[in-house]
Amino acid sequence: MSLTCQVQVILNNISKEKAKTVKRALEPDNVNFPEGLSLYIENSDNKLVFNFESEKNMKQLTGTVDEVMEHIQVALKVIE
């Protein structure tokens, strides 16, 4: 049996500049993901949307979501 889990995190009411800066700050971390785990980031209106997907390890997915959220928090604090 194959199990796929998707998690979407949306930051609402974020300016285009802040969204662009946060997205750029996370790009170095968004490479060489383990097989079966992915992250896609998109800007939409005044939102920054993070789409996570895991086909294998749910524990790894939750850890990755947690780590990315920490990086987002740091990036937002730095640019304010």
CATH number of 65's domain: 3.30.310.50
Domain region containing 33 = 5-79
Q: How far apart are CA 9 and CA 63, in angstroms?
A: 14
Confidence band of 10 (pLDDT split at 50, 70, 90): very high
- Quick check: 1 pLDDT over 60? no
Cα four-point dihedral sign 22, 73, 28, 67: negative
| Total structural domains within the chain | 1
pLDDT of residue 79: 85
**26-76 residue pLDDT tens:** 876 666 777 888 999 998 889 999 999 998 888 889 998 999 999 999 999
pLDDT of residue 53: 94
Q: How far apart are CA 1 and CA 23, in angstroms?
A: 34
